[in-house]
Structure 1
Amino acid sequence: MVLLYVFGAVALINCVYYLFFSKLAFLKISEKNISEKYPVSLIICAKNEAENLKKNIPLWQQQNYNNFEIILINDASIDETLEVMESFAENDSRIQIVNVKNNEAFWANKKYALTLGIKRAKNTRLVFTDADCYPASTEWLTIMADKFSDEKQLVLGYGAYEKRPGFLNKLIRFETLMTAIQYFSYAKAGNPYMGVGRNLAYTSNLYYENKGFMSHIKIPSGDDDLFVNEAATSKNVAIAIEPDSFTYSFPKKKKKKWLIQKKRHYSTAKLYKPKHRFLLAVYFGFNLLFWLLAPFILLTDFWAFGLGIIVMRIAFQYLIIGNAAKKLKEQDLVPFIPFYELFLIFNQLSIFISNSSEKNSRWK
């Protein structure tokens, strides 16, 4: 009987988090008229991204926004990245190139390269994406820039991954979806904690007020989430969830490469503010407990009550996460949400264990 009570409490806490995520799931997308109020600097840092730049620079150039510049940062590439940048810059005066050479103090550090790019920008409002990301529409830059105001100095966007065949693709996209549901919901609740560099915007004033990336300059990841964790407040953050404001990139094709990428990303979580670490740890821990306890509760004399708890918890999960998935155009993931969650939880657990004994010092 004690196990049943414990299991019920675990499921209840799961549902409390899902209820919190309803801040995104049932949020209505504004249909207000957009006006171009601010000049914008679009900043992209690239390291050995020649082929992606050939495809994506034209898409950035085609953005339906009258007043913007494109800052292309070549971060000590050894392929033709710089040559590709220069070829586009010859025919477009909006493109400015920052050629970064390796610095012994900041070897292979993306934050150092980004800092030089931010200093080069002539506009106060900065929009960031990655070299392998392309916008969902020609209105992407317009929507992101329109979220700025005198109060809103930081804009969180959705950096999605392309749909491809295979289970790994769905697992990667599910992890991306769940991360976005969390950071959007926390931001709507006035407690923002992270964003993704694939689709992010903030003002240079906010950057300089927080001394840029200096508090974590030697850490390979965190130019996006650690900066947001430090600089975001309950008042200065806006979110962009309109489908035309999404960016897309290509997910890893091999699980090993994806896990390496996730290990690097998750390694920054230990530097979040204590309240964020606590809330995220509780969410992960109680999800893990639910799946660990579920088989045992079905083997007890109270299995019928346990089954009822499982059904109610999963039904609530479908209601909230399912609606959020549709809002972020990830409908194909909905039918197997619990299945993806189960695999994701144990993959995350293995990453956390591995990260406790490994170090990484380069961003790519």
Structure 2
Amino acid sequence: MSITTRAAVVESGGAPFTLSDVTLDEPGPHEALVRMVATGLCHTDLGVASGGLPFPLPGVLGHEGAGVVEAVGSAVTGVAPGDHVVLSFTSCGDCRNCDGGHPAYCAGWLPLNLIGGRRADGTSTISRDGEPLGGHFFGQSSFAERALVDERSLVKVDPDVPLESIAPLGCGVQTGVGAVWNVLKPVTGSTIVVLGAGAVGLSAVMAAALTPATTIVAVDPRRRTPQPGKGVGCHPHGSTRLRENLGEALAAITGGQGADGIVETTGNVAVLRQGVDALGARGTLVVVGAPPFGTEVSLDVNGLLGGKRVVGLTLGDAETQSFIPALVRLVKEGRLPLHRLISTYPFADIDQAVRDMGAGKAIKPVLTF
């Protein structure tokens, strides 16, 4: 039986989010109906809403959902009605990378999550007045009071942890944390630098603070003052100090050694180039920020011969079923202070949350239902 719910619909590229009644399809064998409690707002949502990616519009976005399971399909075994869940990306579960524990690099990742707008079999999960809408965004489309969620997007979590405090784990937080834990893997005495002090960057800072790294620096090219990194375990530096030459500034901080690990979250290729140049010998830069498709960057090839590595990353290269519950525990114990990043908004105020995010007034807006 189909279900009517209230959703934030993007009618066309560049249009605002508009609340509208939509109809959810009946849960398939590997799907669950989830009553949303909270959902994070991410730059990926805004990029798709702007028309920058070929996602079918009108459509329903949202991919950092958290809620309570209301019903499950006939083949779902991992969750049951009443369970608290965080929603993350989906994957096929059968390809080489899924089998190898790297579902973020699933062979079908793009159509299943970012640009397809439908299930893998081509059927629609959401409609309005009988017309299909773009849905199945990251297997969830959580900008709605209820969401039809792919089984592989569901992660059962501790019901004692407030869902609005952990909704961002599904994308932004696991991306930043995974960049540090799964790629950089700092050793004792490491210097870790994070370029960009938004939600992903500051999540990386928090993750670095839980490693043996002894110097952690956050750089936000957009800000003149070093406020964004305060209280999350790093030495924050604003743009006025670092705009001229990132390498010189980091050399001063690191005693001329350069950085051991850098997480680039800005999507700005000029910042990316400065980051690569600022690496020390055998240092690694993780590329997280995504500029427009087709963007290229030039690198000093001889500068790479000192063992530098540049690594691209999607969603922290995380295996969500083990990674997200571990992060939930750290939030519960106060060791991952996400509350410092989160600003909550009623779902109806989604456009205000978008404006505040764009203006830098909110690091990680979380919509509550």
Instruction: Report the TM-score, using the length of structure 2 for normalisation.
Output: 0.22
**Larger RCO of the pair (alpha carbons < 8 Å, separation 6+):** 1
Larger radius of gyration: 1
Which structure has the highest helix share of the two?
1
Instruction: Report the TM-score, using the length of structure 1 for normalisation.
Output: 0.22
